[in-house]
Amino acid sequence: MSTPPGTERAVAWPRVGVVGAGQLARMLAAAAVPLGVRLELLAEAEDASAAQVVPATRIGVPDKDALADLVERCDVVTFDHELVDPAVLDPLAAQGAPFAPSPAALRMAQDKAHQRAILEAAGAPVPAHRLADDVDAALAAAEHVGWPVVVKAPRGGYDGRGVATADDPEGLPDAWASIGGGPALIEQRVPLAAELAVLVARRRHHGETVVYPPTETVQQNGICTEVIAPARVPDEVAAHAGKVAALVAELVAADGICAVELFWTGEQVLINEVATRPHNSGHWTIEGATTSQFANHLRGVLGWPLGDPNVRAPASVTVNVLGPGDGSDPAAHRSDALTIGDAAVHLYGKTARAGRKVGHVTVCGPDAETARERAHRAAARLVGAREPRLARGGGDPATNDPQRPALDRSGGEQP
């Protein structure tokens, strides 16, 4: 590795430890092959998505002993998810354990309230918000930021879990209860012309970064269903979003990939949240960018030169495949989807519980509409439908109103 002398040994064939074995680790494994990198996993279960494809997998929870063992076996240790207690990482990091991202960066990614506080202190643009400990404080906070509001659990949420909305004081107690009570972030529900995401890759020990073109993400019921790259926003908005994300990435200083979720209100770019790992909004980069987010995550955490983040096609669209409600397995329909020859089909090896992300399809094409149509068609086939239901990108699929993104909490599942 290209590291300052004495900090870590240079290794021609490095081993990268990964805490967690979901689909991100599985796609990281695919990117590791051409780079000559070996992965060592700490998996939650033997049949976890990445555990199925990485022979060097140990099963266990990420406690002190398991992490020390992983550090011992590897040249650098990275993460498939944020659900690791930084207090367990701290003593190991103090002894020189090479965690990438650092425990400090993980702390910021894990806690939306902590994250908002750091971003706000740095003058970064975020929605108006307050932290509330109980429902009375939440009411006062909502009056302060203005109705309607979004109520968020600071920790442990994903795919819209831990997020609820309240239009008025009558609706607040239900929203408060649905996320399990406080402390919670109460924030202004901003109008959404589009949701954007920008990936930034950072090179360990060097601090260099590359910024991917902004993508547009479509959420339904709080879960990302579609990603369109590059985002269909004016050039100056895309350029501004890239600058905001680069500033955030600088603050977070997470080695490897950092994903910055943004709101475009039609007037302003605001920061929603930050993840310090490869992200669903970047799966299109596998086929659609010169260097995938997974390759750049490995290059970044290993301190290697980063690859070109730019697009290889005018438009790339990823459609997520969620477990259908009828309990059928999308893998059983694989051949049907593969008849769409320009669709890249990804299946994660996960049990298809209703609403759970079990795969995705990416199509690169001459324009966003063509790529969307092809990607939706292939994704529909995976869930046994002949024709796609092609909602307009963005906004509430029920009302097709981009000003009112759906935040219904029904139908989710564990990752």
273 is in an annotated binding site: yes
Instruction: Please name the amino acid found at residue 144.
Output: H
220 is in an annotated binding site: no
| Among 62, 98, 101, 127, contact with ligand ADP (rule: CB under 6 A) | 127
Region near ligand ADP per CB under 6 A, out of 90-98, 152-160, 311-319, 327-335: 152-160
Binding partner of 158, given Mg ion, ligand ADP, none, CB within 5-8 angstroms per partner class: ligand ADP
Say if residue 243 carries a ligand binding annotation: no
Q: Which is nearer to Mg ion, 44 or 261 (CB)?
A: 261
Q: Is 357 annotated as a binding residue?
A: no
Beta-bridged to residue 194, according to DSSP, are 264
Pick from 304, 326, 104, 133: nearest CA to 210 = 304
Take residue 66 and report the two structure tokens written for it. 């398991």
Outline where DSSP puts E strands in 26-66.
38-43, 57-59
| End-to-end CA separation in angstroms for the chain | 34
Nearest to 63 by CA among 91, 88, 93, 97: 88
Residue 51 contact partner, candidates Mg ion, ligand ADP, none, CB within 5 to 8 A by sort of partner: none
In this chain, which stretch among 96-104, 185-193, 259-267, 302-310 interacts with Mg ion, using CB under 5 A?
259-267
CB nearer ligand ADP, residue 152 or residue 203? 152
DSSP secondary structure of 55-113:
SSEEE----HHHHHHHHHH-SEEEESSS-S-HHHHHHHHHTT--BSS-HHHHHHHH-HH
Residue 114's DSSP bridge partners are none
Which of 40, 82, 195, 287 lies at the binding interface for ligand ADP (CB under 6 A)? 195
When asked if residue 157 is in the footprint of ligand ADP (CB under 6 A), the reply is yes
What value, to the nearest 5°, has the Cα angle with vertex 21 and ends 294 and 40?
Answer: 80
160 contributes a contact to ligand ADP by CB under 6 A: yes
Q: For the CB of residue 207, give the shortest distance to ligand ADP in the complex, in Å.
A: 27
Q: Could you say whether residue 150 binds ligand ADP (CB under 6 A)? A: yes
Nearest distance from residue 140's CB to ligand ADP, in Å? 18
User: x/- contact string, 271-290, with ligand ADP (CB under 6 A)?
Assistant: -xx-----------------
Q: DSSP states of 180-218 as a string?
A: TSSSEEEEE----SEEEEEEEEE-TTT--EEEPPPEEEE
152 annotated as belonging to a binding site for a ligand: yes
Q: Among residues 44, 187, 226, 255, which is the contact residue for ligand ADP, using CB under 6 A?
A: 187
Query: Is 260 assigned a ligand-binding role in the annotation?
Result: no
Token pair belonging to 406: 């759906």
Q: Are 279 and 297 in contact (CB under 8 A)?
A: no
CB 284 within 8 A of CB 362: yes
324 Cβ contact partners less than 8 Å away, ≥ 6 residues apart:
330, 352, 354, 383, 384
Structure tokens at 5: 């002398």
Contact assessment for residue 309 and residue 255, using Cβ atoms and an 8 Å cutoff = no
> Please, what is the minimum distance in Å from the beta carbon of residue 129 to ligand ADP?
8
Backbone angles phi, psi at 15, to 5 degrees: -110, 130
What letter would DSSP give residue 354? T
Q: Identify what 189 binds: ligand ADP, Mg ion, none; CB under 5 to 8 Å per kind.
A: ligand ADP
115's contact among ligand ADP, Mg ion, none, with CB below 5 to 8 A by partner kind, is none
Cβ closest to Mg ion, residue 130 vs residue 161: 161
Closest CA to 111 of 267, 274, 225, 227: 274
Residue 400, marked binder: no
3-state secondary structure at position 336 = helix
Binding letters toward Mg ion, positions 261-300, x by CB under 5 A: x---------------------------------------
Of positions 261, 346, 356, 362, contacts ligand ADP by CB under 6 A: 261
Name the phi and psi angles at 253, rounded to 5.
50, 45
**Residues of this chain, 375-414, that bind ligand ADP according to CB under 6 A:** 405, 407
Q: How many residues bind ligand ADP (CB under 6 A)?
A: 21
Binding mask of the shown chain, residues 199 to 238, with x at each position contacting ligand ADP by CB under 6 A:
--------------------x--x----------------
Is 190 annotated among the ligand-binding residues?
yes
Closest among 337, 343, 347, 329 to 380, alpha carbons compared:
337
Q: How many residues bind Mg ion (CB under 5 A)?
A: 1
Q: Give the H or E element holding residue 249.
A: helix 235-252
- Residues of this chain that interact with ligand ADP (CB under 6 A) are 127, 150, 152, 157-160, 163, 187-190, 192, 195, 219, 222, 261, 272-273, 405, 407
- Residues of this chain that interact with Mg ion (CB under 5 A) are 261
Could you tell me which residues are annotated as the binding site for ATP? 112, 152, 187-190, 195, 272-273
